[in-house]
Amino acid sequence: MNAKLTVAELEYTPYAEWKKDFVLLLSMGSSLPENAQPVLDYFNNLNKELDSNNKVHSIIGTRMALPGQISFTQEKMNGTLNSNFPWNCLKLILKIIRSC
């Protein structure tokens, strides 16, 4: 809310309610979806505090990391992305988001 206090009055812009759908894309190296629960709890609680008209959805991708992934060369990364590694699931995730 924007507020300005003048001698004569208080000028303000009232709070506008949102009605939004938020989608959390969580790509995790862990194979357990339960490990995403703290993040989901945080965003759900934040949503409750801000406005209950909003909705929080989540798409959790597990096993999205490989040992040594940070130090991959360009050739190794291209080979990994072209294999049947779960990165190919990103196309499916994008289709799901677009259909929401």
- Strand, helix or coil at 24? strand
- The more confidently predicted of residues 18 and 92 is 18
CA distance 89 to 43: 24
89 is a domain residue: yes
- The more confidently predicted of residues 7 and 54 is 54
21-61: pLDDT as tens digits: 888 888 777 778 788 899 999 998 988 887 778 888 888 87
pTM attached to this predicted model: 0.51
Give the domain range for residue 57: 19-66+75-99
86 is a domain residue: yes
Total structural domains within the chain = 1
31 is a domain residue: yes
- The more confidently predicted of residues 41 and 70 is 41
The pLDDT of residue 95 is above 70:
no
CA distance 16 to 33: 35
7 is a domain residue: no
The pLDDT of residue 66 is above 80:
no
* Angle 21-27-32 from CA coordinates, rounded to 5°: 105
53 is a domain residue: yes
84 is a domain residue: yes
- End-to-end distance of the chain based on CA atoms, in angstroms? 30
* DSSP-assigned letters across all residues of 68-80: TGGG--HHHHHHH
6 is a domain residue: no
- Strand, helix or coil at 64? coil
